Amino acid sequence: MFRYAALQSKIGEELVAERGIDTSKVDSIILIEPGMAYYTKSDAALEIGQGFGGFWKALSLFTWIPKTFRDAIYDFVARNRYRWFGKKEACMIPTPELQAKFLG
């Protein structure tokens, strides 16, 4: 099960500080596992896919592609996602069930 925290929240700041992550150099998703492990960009996306299981586990095949190439694709998708998929005018209000997935 994944839990979420904004990097700007108190718990988010604590988690990145514990791991020595410089958030001024990481403009991407950060997946933090218990202990000290963390993943960014394409590594984080592939790890999350593993966590979903099922079809998503097949994404692990992409780990054989060099990280620099995977991250370039990740950055390309990130830059164009709003153009391709649109952008909402307002943030949704999370349900209590969804709110329970957030730390802090």
Contact yes or no for 26/10 (Cβ under 8 A): no
Backbone phi and psi for residue 39, each to the nearest 5 degrees, phi listed first: -135, 150
pLDDT tens by residue, 50-59: 888 888 888 8
Instruction: Report whether pLDDT(98) > 80.
Output: yes
- Specify if 33 maps to a domain: yes
Rounded to whole angstroms, the Cα distance separating 21 from 7 reads 11
Q: Is 37 inside a domain boundary?
A: yes
Average pLDDT over residues 70-86: 93
Does 3 reside within a domain? no
Q: Assess if residue 2 is contained within a domain.
A: no
Number of domains in the chain: 1
Answer left, alpha or beta for residue 39, where phi above 0 means left and psi between -120 and 50 means alpha. beta
Task: Report whether pLDDT(44) > 90.
Answer: yes
pTM reported for the whole predicted model: 0.79
What is the pLDDT confidence band of residue 25, given thresholds at 50, 70 and 90?
A: confident
The verdict on residue 41 lying in a domain is: yes
pLDDT over 90 at 42, yes or no: yes
Asked whether residue 17 is assigned to any structural domain, the reply reads yes
Whether 54 maps to a domain, the answer reads: yes
pLDDT reported for residue 62: 92
Range of the domain at 76: 10-99
Termini Cα distance of the chain = 16
Is there a domain that residue 5 lies in? no
Residues 6+ apart with CB under 8 A from 103: 3, 4, 5, 9, 11, 12
